[in-house]
């Protein structure tokens, strides 16, 4: 697949990672904001906050970028390359939300990163 990684494919891959990660982080921010904590009042509160709408917009953009990306690469390669999103979200969750990265999670990050590199380079 290495020769198939055209600038367009790489750009779509990066856009996908950015908007998918942005959507996950925006949803986490919406869910973490202090406010109503019970039932429908919680949902009304979250729907009134910009983070939930930013997350939704990111998912629409991610959907479009993902479709474009998959139109250019084999599904098996695309899904494996797309798994780098997990790594980005875990690292950004640590940075932005002070979430813990236990040793097994760090090992997972390393293994997923190696797998993505192998797929991207073959």
pLDDT, block means (10 residues), the chain with 122 residues: 76 96 95 80 88 97 97 92 93 94 95 90 74
Task: Give which of 80, 71, 67 is closest to 122, Cα–Cα.
Answer: 80
- Separation CA 55–CA 42 (nearest Å): 17
Chain centroid offset of residue 17 CA: 5
pTM summary value:
0.84
Output phi, psi for 72, to 5 deg. -110, -15
Domains in the chain: boundaries: 2-121
């Amino acid at each position: 697949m290495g020769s198939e990684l055209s600038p367009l494919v790489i750009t779509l891959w990066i856009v996908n990672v950015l908007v998918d990660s942005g959507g996950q982080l925006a949803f986490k921010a919406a869910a973490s904001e202090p406010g109503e904590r019970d039932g429908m009042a919680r949902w009304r509160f979250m729907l009134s906050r910009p983070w939930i709408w930013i997350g939704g917009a990111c998912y629409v953009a991610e959907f479009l970028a993902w479709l474009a990306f998959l139109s250019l690469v084999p599904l098996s390669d695309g899904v494996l390359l797309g798994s780098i999103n997990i790594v980005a979200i875990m690292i950004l969750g640590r940075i932005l939300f002070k979430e813990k990265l236990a040793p097994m999670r760090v090992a997972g990050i390393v293994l997923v990163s190696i797998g993505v590199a192998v797929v991207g380079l073959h």
